[in-house]
Amino acid sequence: MIRALIVDDSSLVRRLLTEILEQADDIEVVGTAHDPYDAREKIKQLNPDVLTLDIEMPRMDGITFLRNLMRLRPMPVVMVSTLTAEGAQETIEALSLGAIDFVCKPRMDIAHGLESYAEEIVAKVRAAARAKVGRSDQRAGKPRPQHPVAKIGSSKVIAIGASTGGTVAIQQVLEEMPQTAPPILITQHMPPGFSAAFAQRLDGICEASVCEAKDGQRILPGHVYIAPGGEKHLELTRDGSRYSCRLRAGELVKRHRPSVEVLFDSMASVAGRHGIGVLLTGMGTDGAEALGRMRAAGAHTIAQDEASSVVWGMPGAAVKAGAAERVLPIGSIAGAIIQAASAASTSSGER
């Protein structure tokens, strides 16, 4: 049984989340807290497995509490964020501090809004209970690995897919990529508005230029293109020698839009052997089958290993299906991408 503690200053939200979570046979809400100080005492008394944590609270905000929690008593946390630009930036910061995932609550009609996300909330609390959590001070300050300089193949294109735990994993990979890296397309499961904040954050800390992808945007080396959250699928297209982004409206694929499956399938058909596919931590199976089609088309394919994944759902499904030619810890993936993209690794036949 998963023991959950709900931390929110709204009595309505506390009641709604309690009702939603207790509909699941394997989740018990052991308590609620109206602010971080109350939560601190309830954590000591009740020893919960998972915390749901509001961002905007009196006396101490959720970000400050999360930072202290992850330093002193790390545990799985699912953030409860508002669907606003400010809420998106705070949520991205919370994920970087160690929160496992987040759910959104609307500013209006909260009761209906949260109930419509009931299945997602339950799934994310379950995933958080299984997730790996480390101290925030253990994650910070690690020196970047120095990868050998290699001649990068100009025709290569990289596609990365991720979900739960992916924002931190993607950052770890991109921080190690040189400015001369091939273009990178990314699908990370996010709601509308959050991908722009994610791209802005990455752009400030990575050598490559990072932006939210636009329809028809030309794809260039040294640039990273992130699929707009919750709106359209991101695909790779080609006109002669030029690659471009295509944003396409459509049904949910593998229960997601944007879907990693859609991105990887476009990579298989458009880039073929010039593609590099990377599937990182995430809940579910999105991207696993299409990574196999990328590999069949001649692309290099990489999956994150179980030990370094927050949730080994998507990469695990790819590994079990034989879609990944290499299974690596997150700290080795950037180097493997650079190796696969270099002219030397292509000519040496290391596949």
Write out the catalytic residue numbers. 163, 189, 286
- Find the angle CA(341)-CA(305)-CA(268) to the nearest 5 degrees: 45
The amino acid present at 21, given as its one-letter code, is: L
Which segments within the chain are labelled E, that is strand?
Answer: 2-7, 27-33, 50-54, 77-82, 101-105, 157-162, 184-188, 209-212, 223-226, 233-239, 242-248, 275-279, 300-304, 326-328
Q: Which of 329, 305, 330 is nearest to 319 (CA)?
A: 305
* 3-state secondary structure (DSSP) of residue 44: helix
The amino acid present at 300, given as its one-letter code, is: H
What letter would DSSP give residue 232?
-
Could you give phi then psi for residue 30, rounded to 5 degrees?
-85, -10
Q: How far apart are CA 178 and CA 61, in angstroms?
A: 36
Q: How far apart are CA 228 and CA 211, in angstroms?
A: 10
Size (the chain), residues: 351
Q: How far apart are CA 34 and CA 28, in angstroms?
A: 18
Q: Which two tokens stand for residue 155?
A: 């025709």
The amino acid present at 297, given as its one-letter code, is: A
* 3-state secondary structure (DSSP) of residue 132: coil
